Each structure stands twice: as C-alpha cells, then as structure tokens.
Structure 1
Amino acid sequence: MLTVDFDRLGVRAGTRLIDVGAGAGRHSFEAYRRGADVVAFDQNAGELADVELMFRAMAEAGEAPAYAKAETVCGDALDLPYGDGAFDVVIASEILEHVPEDRRAIAELVRVLKPGGALVVTVPRWLPERICWALSDEYHANEGGHIRIYRADELRARITETGVRYVHQGFEHALHSPFWWLKCAVGVSRDTHPLVAAYHRMLVWDMMSAPRLTRTAERLLNPLIGKSVALYFTKPAVSGARR
C-alpha cells in the first residue's frame, strides 16, 4: 500500500532516493523495483533487518534491476549522516507526527535534498485523525505514538519556510479511515473483534485484487476522508531562489 506517487516524484533508474522513517519498507521496495538507488533509513534496527532481507529476496528473484542498489541505515532523522544535496528524492511518510522536534527533522529532509530534487511528506489528515483521537486515547497516547495533528496548510507553510517550493497535494487511503474509526471505537488492540476482522479482510482483499468498485470508491472518497495527506515539494535549482 503506497501513500506517495512515484510517477509524480520522477523515480526511475539511477534516482538516488532516501526513505526516511522507512518502517517496514513499502516505499523503499517500490523505489528499488523502479531501479532507484535506495537508502531505507529508520531508527528501528529490527524493522530494518526485515527490510534488508526483503531487498536480498527481491534481488535474488529478479524483482529489481541488477544495476539498482538498496541498503538499510539505522539512525536519527534529526541528524541524517549525509552531505548537503545527497539525494534526488526524499520521502518522509507518516513520521513527522511522531517527532517532537519536527522543524529540525524538516530541515534535515531539505538539507539532504539536491537542488532540483523532489520531496514528499505525508502525515495523517486532520479530520480522520481528530476523530480517532476523540474516540480513543489508546490510539495515540503511547510510547512512540502520534504527538500532534497537522492541518495540511500549516504543515505546508512550515516546510516551505525552509526554501522549498510547494508543488502538489494529494489525499490517500479513504477506505482506511472508517477502519481506524472502528478500531478506536471498539478498542485499538481488539483485532479479533468481528467487525474489525471483517473490515480488515475487505482491506486485504482490496489491496490484493484492486477491484474497480473499491478503487473508484476510494478515488471519490479521498478528497473527503482520505486517511493521509501527501505534500509534494521541489528544491529550487538556483541557490536562494524564491518560491
């Protein structure tokens, strides 16, 4: 399940890409399939070990071009171990809502992006997230949980303060919003609740089969209740250029 549009980012053979907060690796895997040179970056060494295994499996199965490169790096998003302008594309999907020093993290994302490069940041959308918080403290009040809810325009302004230019906004995963509202209503940890289990089966079926009915429904509902908002930016190619 991808939250970012790789065609919009221009990810292709030879693209140097870092996926900051890679988690289980879903965006890193897609970039690798497309022939990019990928860094899956995260602070969770356990998850990165699984991502590394998947990279190897993809290479052995021929699911990524032989020339593509993929590696995992464990570290802190507030202090990325790369030089200025090291990457053509920077992805930060569903991480800033977890980070107390989000402005510092944003500055690092922009710093390692090369002039002319593309940045995408995704976070939970304000309305679906607000409903989750209202229904359940367990959803967000836990170690490593969500510490803030962003309004898209506020986050966009916070990011453009660094000098990047805003390009596009998209909404994703509308069918997942009711799933999380349901989980929050019955108890976030109650995965075996009949309604939760049934909805989860539907989501898995949708992801595996991509039937026209649910794809059309989600496309129509995304502007209304999309679970995530994706904000796309580009770094001016000329130093000091204004947006």
Structure 2
Amino acid sequence: MTVTDADPNSLNSHENVVFDRSLKTCPKWLRERIISDLSKETRLLDIGCGAATLTTHLKKETGAEVIGVDVDRPSLVAGRSDNASDLLLGEGAHLPIADGAVDVIIAIESIEHIPDAKEFVIEARRVLSEGGVLWIKTPNRRAHDLFQLAKRNWSLNRHFHVSLFTPGELQNTLSEWAQSWVRPGLAEYQREKLAGIHPVIGWIADRVPFESLPLATQPSLVVRAERQ
C-alpha cells in the first residue's frame, strides 16, 4: 500500500502528532557515508522511515529511486505531503518488496524495534540485489543498559527496544555478510540525553573520545554489511 492511498481524515487528532528524529539519529557524517553508496541508478530502501525526512533528503541529494517502509500509518501520512518517494506500510521482518528489488537498505535505529531481528536480516538479504549493501545503526546493548540504569530504570524494561545487540551479537547475526564497522562516537542528541541525567555526566561525556574507544564501548553500533 502506498501512502497516497491513505486518507488523513481517517486519523484521530492525537495520531497526527508525529515525531521524526531521523536527521538527528543519522548525523551528517553517516549520511555522507550512505550517500557515497548512492547514485541516480540506485534503488534505496529506508526501513523504519517514519515521516520520511531522511528518505526525502537522500533522494534530493542523490536522485536515487527511494522507497520508505514503516509500520506507523500516521507517520507515513505526515510524510506524504513533502515526499518524492514511494512510502509503504509494512514491517521490517515482512517487507512488501519483491526479491532483489533494491540495491541499498538503510535501517537507522530500526532493528531494535523489530521483535524478530534475524528474520529482518533474512528479509534484507531477500530484497537486496547481489552485492547490495545494508547500513545498520542501532544502540549498543551495553551502553543502552548503562543509560537505563543511570536513569534508575532498574528493571531494564525493553518494551520499546526489543532487539538490542552487543557488537559481537550483531556480528554473529550478520555472519553471512561482508562487514565494515564504524566507531561513531557520541552524537549530539546522545550528549543531550546524558546531560539531561546529570550535568556532571554530560561534562564527562563531552571529554571522553568515544570515537577512539573499542566497539564494545561505543554508544551506537554502525555497520555497513554487503550481501555476498
């Protein structure tokens, strides 16, 4: 189903409040890395596209043929007004996309919301062309849990982030792919979150060279995986 088929008048008023942080969670340096994989001939799939802010940005920058998929109809409807891409209602583990139909997939802070992450990886392989590329950015499980404990969330409730990984766990999940890992450091929105817990934590975070630390200590995991 494309978003242009949806009727925005059918949505309740509270459903029209849509938050799209994709340009924050996909910072400029990562967008530039993704753009280096794109051209006018590229078919790009954005999984968990939300209101398609990032989707539309990448299309405007590269001229690529872009498709966005999300489970949230209000977000898709919100994105349709300023959109030059196809937007589809669907799940990451059950993509409404034909076999081998895309060349690049981006999943920016999406895989952690998919209950069956292994099925998502299988689906990504199915819809990618031979040699296609999958970009994943997701919270590091260790860093995520430390952040929750710092907020005094002692139960480590993961009702929102249902599939979290350590670097080793994600490497194993992508064992059939050629992997290139990036040390992303601490993004600005992550600095703001830490400072929100306590000013001292924010002060320390500003002075730690996260991008130089091992993968195991990175706040986020970023990997470029190539279909073999």
Provide runs of 4+ in structure 1 moved above 6 Å.
Answer: none
State the alpha-carbon separation in 1 of the partners of residues 223 and 79 from structure 2. Answer: 25
Q: Mark the CA change 1:218 to 1:32 in structure 2 (over 3 Å): closer, same or farther.
A: farther
Residues 1-243 of structure 1: matches in 2 within 5 Å? 1=23, 2-3=26-27, 4-7=30-33, 9-33=36-60, 34-55=62-83, 70-136=85-151, 137=153, 141=157, 145-160=160-175, 163-183=176-196, 185=197, 220-224=209-213, 227-236=219-228
1:41-77 deviation line (CA, Å, top 9, x unaligned)? 100011111221221xxxxxxxxxxxxx511111121
| TM-score, with length taken from structure 1 | 0.68
Q: Mark the CA change 1:140 to 1:119 in structure 2 (over 3 Å): closer, same or farther.
A: same
| Residue 153 of structure 1, CA deviation | 2.2
Q: How many residues align?
A: 191
| Residue 146 of structure 1, CA deviation | 1.2
| Residue 226 of structure 1, CA deviation | 5.0
Structure 2 unaligned spans of 5+: 1-22
| Residue 155 of structure 1, CA deviation | 0.4
1:67-89 deviation line (CA, Å, top 9, x unaligned)? xx511111121111122211010
Q: Is the 8 A contact 1:103 1:158 kept in 2?
A: yes
Match of 1:91, SS state, is strand
Q: Mark the CA change 1:173 to 1:12 in structure 2 (over 3 Å): closer, same or farther.
A: farther
CA RMSD across the alignment: 2.9
Taking every aligned residue pair, what percent have the same amino acid on both sides? 21
State the alpha-carbon separation in 2 of the partners of residues 109 and 71 from structure 1. Answer: 18
Q: Mark the CA change 1:49 to 1:10 in structure 2 (over 3 Å): closer, same or farther.
A: same
State the alpha-carbon separation in 2 of the partners of residues 146 and 139 from structure 1. Answer: 13
| Residue 112 of structure 1, CA deviation | 0.7
Aligned AA (1:42): D
Aligned AA (1:53): S
1:12-43 deviation line (CA, Å, top 9, x unaligned)? 21210000111232431232111111111100
Q: Is the 8 A contact 1:97 1:146 kept in 2?
A: yes
State the alpha-carbon separation in 2 of the partners of residues 218 and 93 from structure 1. Answer: 26
State the alpha-carbon separation in 2 of the partners of residues 139 and 37 from structure 1. Answer: 43
Q: Mark the CA change 1:139 to 1:13 in structure 2 (over 3 Å): closer, same or farther.
A: farther
